[in-house]
């Protein structure tokens, strides 16, 4: 055997020996681990890594030789230097680093030298980060899909307006999807950048003062608790506040001190600590290589952070694929390289291509289906459950769920859990995955949620704010010697309504009165609300209950329940004044002037007829018609007859004597014409005057009001009615608002009560625009008031509450039930028609109807009075005439006044006597007396 042969045989032995020892000890693979020096989670990370290496050694033919480099994010040169040193060892794969800046250094080296590079950082760089099917695999969910998840969560949470609190500009990239999907007309959202800290109270206070209740917090995991603690201090962590935390590790923090907060805190997580797979893996992390005993350092499943889990998954992915390739006969020699020499790794390309193929979208077509390297751990088949696990079985599947990469090595499939803080732990409410990016899959059903709310409501005491105003909230008069407290101080529709609602929901409430007495008006200059709405925004009350109108502007600031009462704006006005009927109301059809002119005309015309008749020869007549040549002529038209003729004609009665001359007839004719017209006018007017009430200025609609200036009109200042007219585009209402604004003195009132008072006292010179329900209430109590015209609009009163109050649905349901059962109508009847003097004006309605159809004595009484008066005057004249005649007879017949009186009276009383002596004397009187005695 030559030396050459011997040499060859020896070399063969050496190679066989090396091969055998390598096989026994396992093949050594160098990997580089670039970690963040400042990461507080490094201890967990190193346990996870050690455990992974140990397990690899245990179940495979490989021995991992890790090279750890703990670096600061500014250590560029050190990073490059370490990487070059590593290459010389012959590195199989590089993991990390976690800072984006250092990652760029490592990524450029591994890309150039074709070394598989597993990244665990959020990489938002737009555009393809590497060439297609290269060596880069980023285990972290790709930035754009993660942004979609956040956008979907915000949308599904039904957040219209919110404030984004962020630490650096990368936070806005995480939210870019949510921000770009907004419509131009969507409500404004605000941005607040946190300062260097640690004190962020001033910013949080500003948010609190802005009234914002929905906050998206994007910050580093280590700052979350500190920021929320400060938010608690400035009262930004109250019942109605809601937070979305974008950090995927939020659930790993200690939330013990937020156990009792009532704020809604929602977060997102990639790692599900409750999966039994992760629990098993974590149990294994506690076993060390040396003694196979559990370490003292306890790691809970809920404290495993994303980057730790991703690093663990990355190592497993690498070794699984490496082993799988070698098993199918693919040789993967790992070469020693140098930064200065142009040479590339011989295993990189094949290994990367293998991972791309195995962990791509179409997993079902994958030939290596028994590999768990891209899939979730199958619990029943878990290698860590049995320490002497057979070699053939593979290492565990990923902790972060299914691994799937796009052609650029970006992770494009994973599953996120949407979690909610309950006491000091989190519960999963829904899940999300990039396959259906616009949808959240709910895990807590709506029914379950509602049951929870219902349970919470039974422990809730609502702080109800309201304003005094009948019949909604009335202060109960204090009984002597007794102090009223709490809800006993008040009564009214609102109090009863709350009693009924809490009857359904099993809750309790406490009423308080708003200090400024306003409903809720926005001041655009000060950018603040007043009244009830302000109380809700300041979270000083849970509910606002009274005649609070649901308006668009208010709805933007607070939430409303469905309306419990519907109404519209109408006009409150005073009824026509019912003046007591005058005795001489029959004179009303003509004015006093006309009566005086008529009386004058009567006298003048009577005189004129008298004069004209004297002048007219035809009215001088023969007193003895049988005498053809009378000595003298006679004129019948003395003053008495003239007055009789004119009176007879104006009374429509005519006269038995008539003028004969043309001129007298002409004058009489003209008087008759005058009488005809005047009588007709009087008759026509008399009917109207006797049947109708005296009318003042009349209005029948808002148009009538707008088209006149005599009646002033106004409304409550700063309420929904005021806003309706102020903001109306309809020309009539706008004109009305301009008129109201320019009126002096002001036509606006501070309270409906004042408006009603003004209507009643202004003698129909003021109308008040008021909501119909309040008009109804007033009309039930004051019969002098009427509603004029219909409703100008249609709206409702609702119960207001801070936005996103969880109990809105339950209160809505209670209102709906009350509506259907008629409870709301009963309540309204009680407070409108029964309590505090309601139902007073029912009788009046009937009596006013009666007066419209028939005339009472008060209308025509005057006519009777005139008749009686005239009769008395006529009797007086008759008595005078009688006495005058008695005197004349006594003188002419030379007898005593008494005898003359007795004889005349006796004769007058003898109603059967038809004849009378023309001139009675004393003898006839004595004879008469004697005959009476004989009888
Ligand atoms: N209900 C109205 C409001 O909520 C107040 C009354 C009114 O404006 O007529 O503002």
- Distance (Å) from CA 791 to ligand 1 centroid: 15
Which of 651, 677, 694 lies at the terminal end of a domain, its last residue?
Answer: 694
On whether the CB atoms of residues 633 and 661 are closer than 8 A, the answer is no
**How open is the CA angle 293-299-304, to the nearest 5 degrees?**
135
- Distance (Å) from CA 516 to ligand 1 centroid: 15
For ligand 1, what atom is nearest to the CA of residue 569?
A: 9
| Known binding residues for L-glutamate | 549, 554, 721, 771
Residue 303 DSSP label: G
What is the reported pLDDT for 365? 44
- Distance (Å) from CA 733 to ligand 1 centroid: 17
Residue 438 DSSP label: T
CATH number for position 654: 1.10.287.70
CATH number for position 36: 3.40.50.2300
Q: Is 450 within the bounds of a domain? A: no
Tokens of 459: 């422990």
For ligand 1, what atom is nearest to the CA of residue 771?
A: 9
- Distance (Å) from CA 838 to ligand 1 centroid: 22
User: Tokens 């309590």 sit at which residue?
Assistant: 835
In this prediction the pTM is 0.68
- Distance (Å) from CA 831 to ligand 1 centroid: 18
What is the reported pLDDT for 296? 59
Q: Is 828 within the bounds of a domain? A: no
Q: Is 719 within the bounds of a domain? A: no
Q: To test the ligand 1 pocket, which listed residue (548, 550, 724, 800) has its Cβ within 8 A of the most ligand atoms?
A: 548
Q: To test the ligand 1 pocket, which listed residue (466, 532, 544, 549) has its Cβ within 8 A of the most ligand atoms?
A: 549
Whose Cα sits closest to atom 6 in ligand 1? 719
Q: Is 334 within the bounds of a domain? A: yes
**DSSP letters along 376-411, please?**
---GGG-GGGSTT--TTSPPP--TTS--EE-TTSEE
What is the reported pLDDT for 369? 39
Q: Is 325 within the bounds of a domain? A: yes
Using CB atoms within 10 Å of the CB of residue 572, give its burial: 0 to 12 exposed, 13 to 18 middle, 19+ buried: buried
Domain count for the chain, please give it: 3
On whether the CB atoms of residues 314 and 118 are closer than 8 A, the answer is yes
Q: Which domain range does residue 911 map to?
A: 863-934
Strand bridging mode 163-166 / 528-529? unpaired
Q: Is 605 within the bounds of a domain? A: yes
Tokens of 578: 């019912």
- Distance (Å) from CA 462 to ligand 1 centroid: 23
**How open is the CA angle 659-663-668, to the nearest 5 degrees?**
55
- Distance (Å) from CA 457 to ligand 1 centroid: 30
Which of 372, 394, 413 lies at the terminal end of a domain, its last residue?
Answer: 413
User: Tokens 């806005």 sit at which residue?
Assistant: 172
On whether the CB atoms of residues 43 and 304 are closer than 8 A, the answer is no
Tokens of 601: 């005309």
Residue 548 DSSP label: -
| Residue 372 φ/ψ, nearest 5 degrees | -105, 10
Using CB atoms within 10 Å of the CB of residue 225, give its burial: 0 to 12 exposed, 13 to 18 middle, 19+ buried: middle
- Distance (Å) from CA 272 to ligand 1 centroid: 52
Tens of pLDDT, residues 182-238: 777 777 889 999 989 799 999 999 999 888 889 999 999 999 999 999 999 999 998
CA–CA distance, 775 with 721 (Å, rounded to integer):
13
Q: To test the ligand 1 pocket, which listed residue (529, 530, 547, 564) has its Cβ within 8 A of the most ligand atoms?
A: 547
Q: Is 149 within the bounds of a domain? A: no
Q: Which residues line ligand 1 (CB under 6 A)?
A: 519, 547-549, 715-716, 719-722, 770-771
Which of 413, 429, 450 lies at the terminal end of a domain, its last residue?
Answer: 413
The list of the chain residues with pLDDT below 50 reads 1, 11, 14-24, 289-291, 293-294, 364-371, 376-394, 846-851
| Known binding residues | 549, 554, 721, 771
CA–CA distance, 123 with 117 (Å, rounded to integer):
14
Q: Is 599 within the bounds of a domain? A: yes
Measure CA of the first residue to CA of the last residue in the chain; give whole Å.
211
**How open is the CA angle 466-471-476, to the nearest 5 degrees?**
75
Count the alpha carbons within 13 Å of 811 in the hemisphere toward its beta carbon. 26
Contacts of residue 246, defined as CB under 8 A and 6 or more positions apart, other chains included, come to 150, 171, 174, 175, 216, 217, 218, 268
Strand bridging mode 264-269 / 416-422? antiparallel
Task: List strand residue ranges (DSSP E) for 605-720, in order.
Answer: 620-621, 634-635, 712-715
Q: To test the ligand 1 pocket, which listed residue (771, 774, 775) has its Cβ within 8 A of the most ligand atoms?
A: 771
For ligand 1, what atom is nearest to the CA of residue 715?
A: 9
CA–CA distance, 215 with 244 (Å, rounded to integer):
6
Tens of pLDDT, residues 280-319: 777 777 665 444 544 556 778 888 999 999 998 899 889 8
């Amino acid at each position: 055997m030559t030396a050459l042969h011997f040499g060859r045989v020896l070399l063969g032995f050496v190679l066989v020996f090396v091969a055998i020892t390598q096989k026994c000890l396992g093949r050594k693979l160098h990997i580089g681990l670039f970690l963040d020096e400042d990461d507080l989670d490094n201890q967990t990370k190193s346990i996870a890594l050690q455990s992974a290496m140990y397990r690899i050694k245990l179940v495979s033919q490989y021995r991992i030789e890790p090279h750890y480099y703990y670096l600061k994010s500014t250590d560029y040169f050190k990073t490059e230097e370490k990487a070059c040193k590593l290459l010389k060892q012959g590195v199989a794969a590089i993991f990390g680093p976690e800072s984006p800046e250092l990652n760029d250094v490592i990524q450029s080296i591994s890309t150039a030298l074709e070394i598989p590079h597993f990244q665990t950082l959020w990489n938002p760089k737009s555009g393809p980060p590497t060439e297609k099917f290269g060596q880069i695999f980023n285990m972290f969910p790709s930035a754009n899909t993660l942004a979609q998840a956040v956008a979907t969560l915000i949308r599904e949470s039904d957040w219209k307006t919110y404030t984004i609190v962020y630490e650096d500009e990368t936070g806005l990239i995480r939210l870019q999807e949510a921000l770009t999907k907004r419509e131009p007309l969507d409500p404004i959202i605000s941005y607040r950048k946190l300062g260097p800290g640690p004190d962020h109270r001033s910013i949080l206070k500003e948010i609190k003062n802005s009234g914002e209740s929905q906050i998206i917090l994007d910050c580093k995991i280590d700052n979350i608790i500190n920021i929320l603690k400060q938010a608690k201090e400035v009262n930004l962590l109250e019942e109605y506040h809601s937070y979305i935390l974008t950090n995927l590790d939020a659930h790993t923090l200690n939330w013990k001190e937020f156990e009792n907060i009532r704020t809604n805190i929602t977060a997102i997580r990639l790692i599900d600590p409750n999966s039994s797979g992760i629990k098993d893996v974590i149990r294994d992390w506690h076993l060390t290589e040396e003694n196979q005993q559990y370490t003292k350092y306890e790691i809970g499943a809920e404290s495993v952070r994303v980057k730790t889990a991703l690093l663990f998954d990355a190592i497993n992915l690498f070794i699984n694929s490496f082993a799988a390739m070698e098993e199918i006969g693919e040789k993967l020699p790992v070469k020693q390289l140098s930064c200065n020499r142009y040479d590339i790794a011989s295993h990189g390309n094949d290994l990367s291509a293998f991972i791309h193929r195995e962990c791509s979208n179409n997993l079902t077509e994958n030939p290596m289906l028994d590999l768990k390297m891209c899939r979730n751990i199958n619990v029943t088949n878990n290698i860590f459950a049995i320490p002497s696990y057979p070699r053939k079985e593979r290492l565990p599947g990923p902790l972060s769920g299914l691994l799937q990469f796009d052609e650029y090595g970006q992770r494009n499939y994973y599953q996120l859990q949407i979690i909610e803080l309950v006491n000091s732990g989190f519960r999963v409410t829904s899940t999300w995955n990039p396959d259906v990016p616009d949808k959240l899959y709910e895990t807590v059903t709506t029914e379950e949620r509602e049951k929870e709310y219902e349970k919470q409501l039974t422990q809730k005491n609502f702080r109800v704010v309201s304003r005094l105003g009948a019949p909604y909230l009335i202060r109960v008069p204090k009984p002597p010697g007794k102090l009223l407290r709490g809800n006993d101080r008040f009564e009214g529709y609102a109090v009863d309504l709350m009693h009924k609602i809490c009857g359904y929901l099993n809750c309790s409430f406490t009423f308080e009165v708003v200090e400024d007495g306003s409903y809720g008006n926005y001041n655009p200059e000060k950018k603040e609300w007043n009244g009830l709405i302000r109380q809700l925004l300041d979270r000083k009350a849970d509910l606002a209950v009274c005649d609070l109108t649901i308006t668009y502007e208010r709805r933007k600031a607070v939430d409303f329940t469905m309306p419990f009462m519907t109404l519209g704006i109408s006009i409150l006005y005073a009824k026509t004044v019912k003046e007591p009927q005058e005795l001489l109301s029959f004179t009303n059809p003509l004015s006093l002037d006309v009566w005086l002119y008529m009386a004058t005309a009567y006298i003048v015309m009577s005189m004129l007829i008298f004069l004209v008749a004297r002048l007219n020869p035809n009215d001088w007549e023969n007193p003895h018609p049988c005498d053809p040549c009378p000595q003298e002529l006679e004129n019948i038209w003395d003053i008495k007859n003239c007055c009789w003729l004119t009176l007879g004609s104006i009374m429509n009665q005519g006269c038995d004597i008539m003028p004969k001359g043309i001129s007298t007839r002409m004058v009489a004719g003209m008087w008759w014409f005058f009488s005809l017209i005047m009588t007709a006018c009087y008759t026509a007017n008399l009917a109207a005057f006797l049947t109708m009430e005296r009318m003042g200025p009349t209005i029948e609609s808002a148009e009538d009001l707008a088209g006149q200036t005599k009646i002033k009109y106004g409304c409550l200042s700063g309420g929904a009615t005021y806003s309706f007219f102020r903001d109306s585009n309809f020309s009539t209402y706008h004109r009305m608002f301009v008129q109201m604004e320019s009126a002096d003195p002001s036509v606006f009132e501070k309270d409906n009560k004042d408006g009603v008072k003004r209507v009643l006292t202004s003698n129909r010179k003021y109308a008040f625009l008021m909501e119909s329900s309040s008009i109804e209430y007033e009309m039930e109590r004051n019969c002098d008031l009427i509603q004029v015209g219909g409703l100008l609009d249609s709206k409702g009163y609702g119960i207001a509450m801070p936005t996103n109050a969880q109990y809105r649905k339950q209160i809505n349901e209670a209102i709906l039930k009350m509506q259907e059962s008629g409870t709301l109508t009963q309540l309204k009847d009680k407070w409108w028609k029964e309590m505090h003097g309601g139902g007073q004006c029912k009788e009046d309605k009937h009596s006013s109807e009666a007066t419209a159809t028939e005339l009472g004595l008060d209308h025509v009484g005057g006519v009777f009075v005139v008749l009686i008066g005239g009769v008395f005057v006529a009797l007086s004249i008759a008595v005078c005439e009688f006495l005058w005649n008695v005197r004349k007879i006594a003188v002419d017949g030379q007898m005593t006044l008494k005898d003359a009186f007795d004889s005349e009276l006796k004769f007058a009383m003898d109603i059967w006597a038809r004849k009378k002596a023309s001139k009675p004397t004393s003898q006839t009187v004595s004879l008469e007396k004697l005959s009476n005695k004989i009888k």
